[in-house]
Amino acid sequence: MNLQTEYLPFLIPVIIIELALMITALIHVVRHDHYKFGNKPIWIIVVVLIQIIGPIVYFVFGRSDEE
């Protein structure tokens, strides 16, 4: 059995979760102007380049409580 096909059932859900988190975080960053710290360009870079951890960091530390 090929190594890629062996891990494929695990990788597909991880990739889908990663993309969903990234898209959700990007939409939120673009639509809102208030952040706990940082600014819009920094958060876009963090969300896009730091894979699964970037969107989670944004939602925990970057998103402002006021909408």
- CA-CA distance, 31 to 37, in Å (whole number)? 16
The tokens of 64 are what? 């402002």
- CA-CA distance, 37 to 9, in Å (whole number)? 38
Sequence-separated (6 or more) residues with CB below 8 Å from residue 1:
none
pLDDT, residue 36, reads 84
User: What pTM value is reported for the model?
Assistant: 0.80
Tens of pLDDT, residue by residue over 10-67, are 989 999 999 999 999 999 999 988 888 888 999 999 999 998 899 999 989 888 776 5
Sequence-separated (6 or more) residues with CB below 8 Å from residue 14:
52
Handedness of CA 38, 61, 64, 31 (dihedral sign): positive
pLDDT, residue 1, reads 62
